[in-house]
Amino acid sequence: MDTVPHPTPGEKTEHRPLACAFAKMHAHTLVLIAPLSAEDMVVQSMPDASPVKWHLAHTTWFFETFLLKNQPDYTAFDPDYAYLFNSYYEALGPRQPRAQRGLLTRPPIADILAYRAHVDAGMNRLLQTDLTADAEALVRLGIAHEEQHQELILMDVLHLLAQSPLKPAYCPRTPADARGKPGRFQLRPGGLVDIGHEGPDFAFDNEAPRHRTWLQPFEISDRLVINSEWLAFMQDGGYSRPDLWLSDGWAQVQAHGWNAPFYWQKDGDRWQEMSLRGLQTIALDAPVTHISYYEAAAYAHWAGARLPTEAEWEAAAADGVLEQVDEVAWQWTGSAYLPYPGFQPGAGAVGEYNGKFMSGQMVLRGGSAFTPAGHARPTYRNFFAPEKRWMRSGIRLARDIAIGNAPDDHDAGFAADVVRGLSARQKSLSPKYFYDAAGSELFEAICQLEEYYPTRTETALLTRIAPELVADIPDNAVLVEFGSGASDKTRLLLDAAPQIRDYVPIDISEDALRHATLRLKAAYPKLSVTPVVGDFTTAVTLPSALKGRPLIGFFPGSTIGNFTHTEAIAFLRTVRGLLGQNARLILGADMVKDEATLVAAYDDALGVTAQFNKNLLVRINRDLGGNFDLDAFDHLAVWNPDYERMEMHLVSRKDQIVTTAGHAFAFKAGERFHTENSHKFTLTSLARLAAESGWKIDRQWISPAPEFGIFSLTA
């Protein structure tokens, strides 16, 4: 186009970054209008679209009004332009009605280009000076503003050319629409996320303040919906089924006879689409564009999905799981365009830029093929009224995910512990949750294993020392056992001490306790057994009928090793309180030994311990509506020398998200879920533990290797 002045080579090059950014941006507007004739630039095809000539003048007016007007060395180009080219700033006075911008055949384009050159010169002078922070912010806003109009120029020109029966191309060399493939849903854990802009880089006021928001777990498609998918929606009666549409959307369908995206038209039995390259046959694998919010919402409904909220979109974009973020089409979100908590519009007329439009519009995120390079960002909030279609809009789907049933009351404590344990940086859970019915049976199977030496060793030792151990148990004594399980070791004491007439087994596993009680009653008809189901770490109360009787505590199996040091002290103190004056506690504890023996005991060849470990996941799946994939986790048993303990973990084989108890939890490949500690002891560490919890070691017996210890403690 002859009337467009191109920057002449050899002009003084600009080194200040802001002046440079201004010059580059301003020159790009002229590049965009190069394919247009003077006539193309005057016509207004609808009230929403402005003539290109008006865009050229208005963006220039913005710099003149907000930056140059009050400069001593600047004279206004033409005082009438304040009326002609103000867009919507009430604070700056009356203006040409929006729908009549196309009636401005005067001033001619040559004058507008001269106006641009005049303001350009003023801006160049201003940009050589030291700008105040406020002025610099306004220059950046002016640049971003004109970039928005660069996108509007393409939107409006496309709309104008689409009205012509000739369907001319804006520029035949415009790149074709990006090709794609159907999207795949990506599971996102949600939770507390931060969204919005913060920091020194430019952003519009509506992107701030950055703030925290809560997201339910959700899925979001990595790609945009493509034309073939849209055709399936159309063929399934997408535009003729009111059940798919919002009421206002259905009213639009009927009022305007919508039956396809905005720029689609039928040629025989194939669909064509008006584009900047002219009329083109629909590319089935290209993302669908130029659709209203109502169409996007109807499609999502039809597809069994929904639109993402803007917070979901931004969180997923920040996590890098989205493709086609900003280079294809703006993506409708399900979020109304509203101020963020704490939003403050700028002072003065410029405060009208965004804030006053915060009603009746929906947010679009991303960016489009029409957006100038470098203009968009992940926090960018574009917005349009829900019925608009002339902008380059597209659709990305999201959906809710099933997150398990709310636990019933019985499981409330379990659910709370699972949620807390899986939310922590190091995922963990108390080993007490191993012992449901299946877990207790698996533990008994472990006790039979060749590698699991503790049961065998402790049993042999107890058998040998039983007579000494029970020698001074008084008549009428009550045996109180903590974590009694199958009560097998108990028999060794009962056999040696017939003076014990009452037995109180305490266990968290109701099934184990029931079976043990039945068997013991059959084998010891004179023994009175009073089982107590419960967590022995929280206050346990003994049957009041036993008050005043001599109490002997029994805590075999090295279950003491499953506590942390702090928990062990707290437990031993509680037991001391529970058993009262002159109390005695018979404690079994596994001793530190070589790593190979230890690791084999917790990682047996038959995989029983692995099954015991994974039973925790089975239990979570069953009781808390979890969806753990047992094959996606490996059993791991490791010796931790710093803490002198064996550790069991479940190691995630891949990046995955698991849902349970109404929450979603992300696991990285290789990440560990810590399920058990089994501390091993030395004579010193055990003596210290006893001393710290108010007990004294009275006598002790250590088995030959693999070493296991029995300790008789007195209060």
Binding residues for ligand SAH, per CB under 6 A?
432, 435, 440, 443, 447, 455, 483-485, 489, 507-509, 512, 535-537, 556-557, 559
Smallest separation (angstroms) from ligand SAH to the CB of 669: 31
Q: Tell me which residue has its CB nearest to ligand SAH.
A: 557
From the CB of residue 103, how many other CB atoms can be counted at a distance below 10 Å?
A: 12
Smallest separation (angstroms) from ligand AVI to the CB of 597: 13
676 touches which of ligand AVI, ligand SAH, none (CB within 5 to 8 A by kind)?
A: ligand AVI
667 touches which of ligand AVI, ligand SAH, none (CB within 5 to 8 A by kind)?
A: none
Residue closer to ligand SAH (CB basis): 123 or 493: 493
Q: What are phi and psi of 382, to 5 degrees?
A: -85, 155
Q: What are phi and psi of 665, to 5 degrees?
A: -130, 130
Smallest separation (angstroms) from ligand AVI to the CB of 647: 10
Smallest separation (angstroms) from ligand AVI to the CB of 490: 15
446 touches which of ligand SAH, ligand AVI, none (CB within 5 to 8 A by kind)?
A: ligand AVI
Residue closer to ligand SAH (CB basis): 111 or 567: 567
509 touches which of ligand SAH, ligand AVI, none (CB within 5 to 8 A by kind)?
A: ligand SAH
Residue closer to ligand SAH (CB basis): 149 or 489: 489
Smallest separation (angstroms) from ligand SAH to the CB of 578: 13
Q: Tell me which residue has its CB nearest to ligand AVI.
A: 678
432 touches which of ligand SAH, ligand AVI, none (CB within 5 to 8 A by kind)?
A: ligand SAH
Smallest separation (angstroms) from ligand AVI to the CB of 558: 5
Helices 510-523 + 488-496 axis angle, to 10:
30
Q: Which residues contact 93 (CB under 8 A, 6 or more apart)?
A: 82, 83, 86
Per-residue b/e over 597-619, b at no fewer than 16 CB within 10 Å?
ebebbbbbeeebbbbbbbbbbbb
Q: Which residues contact 2 (CB under 8 A, 6 or more apart)?
A: none
489 touches which of ligand SAH, ligand AVI, none (CB within 5 to 8 A by kind)?
A: ligand SAH
DSSP state of 631: G
Question: Which residue's structure tokens are 């303990």?
Answer: 645
* CA 690 – CA 576 distance, rounded (Å): 11
* CA 556 – CA 490 distance, rounded (Å): 9
602 touches which of ligand AVI, ligand SAH, none (CB within 5 to 8 A by kind)?
A: ligand AVI
Smallest separation (angstroms) from ligand AVI to the CB of 608: 9
Is-contact 574 506, C-beta < 8 A?
A: no
- Site residues, ligand AVI (CB under 6 A): 446, 557-559, 561-562, 602, 609, 676, 678
Which residue from 123, 102, 119 is spatially nearest to 52, judged by alpha carbons? 102
Longest dimension (CA), the chain: 116
* CA 663 – CA 648 distance, rounded (Å): 24
Residue closer to ligand AVI (CB basis): 14 or 444: 444
SS3 assignment, position 150 = helix
435 touches which of ligand AVI, ligand SAH, none (CB within 5 to 8 A by kind)?
A: ligand SAH
Which residue from 506, 510, 498 is spatially nearest to 555, judged by alpha carbons? 506
Smallest separation (angstroms) from ligand SAH to the CB of 233: 55
Which residue from 174, 150, 158 is spatially nearest to 26, judged by alpha carbons? 150
Residue closer to ligand SAH (CB basis): 508 or 598: 508
The strand order across the sheet containing 427-428 reads: 427-428, 672-679, 645-652, 633-640
Residue closer to ligand SAH (CB basis): 249 or 439: 439
Smallest separation (angstroms) from ligand AVI to the CB of 557: 5
609 touches which of ligand AVI, ligand SAH, none (CB within 5 to 8 A by kind)?
A: ligand AVI
Smallest separation (angstroms) from ligand SAH to the CB of 440: 6
Smallest separation (angstroms) from ligand SAH to the CB of 537: 5
561 touches which of ligand SAH, ligand AVI, none (CB within 5 to 8 A by kind)?
A: ligand AVI
512 touches which of ligand AVI, ligand SAH, none (CB within 5 to 8 A by kind)?
A: ligand SAH
For residue 631, give Cα distances in angstroms to 78, 88, 651, 655, 671.
Answer: 75, 61, 11, 13, 15
- Concatenating the DSSP letter of every residue in 320-354 gives T--SSSSSS-EEEEEEE--PPTT--PPSSGGGGTT
Residue closer to ligand AVI (CB basis): 324 or 678: 678
Residue closer to ligand SAH (CB basis): 124 or 430: 430
Smallest separation (angstroms) from ligand SAH to the CB of 556: 4
Residue closer to ligand AVI (CB basis): 349 or 599: 599
CA dihedral of residues 226, 228, 229, 234 (deg, nearest 10): 120
678 touches which of ligand SAH, ligand AVI, none (CB within 5 to 8 A by kind)?
A: ligand AVI
Is-contact 393 579, C-beta < 8 A?
A: no
Residue closer to ligand AVI (CB basis): 303 or 442: 442
507 touches which of ligand SAH, ligand AVI, none (CB within 5 to 8 A by kind)?
A: ligand SAH
Is-contact 265 274, C-beta < 8 A?
A: yes
Quote the strand ranges of 349-400, DSSP E.
Answer: 362-365, 382-384, 393-394, 398-400
Write down how long the chain is.
Answer: 715
Smallest separation (angstroms) from ligand AVI to the CB of 485: 8
Residue closer to ligand AVI (CB basis): 206 or 678: 678
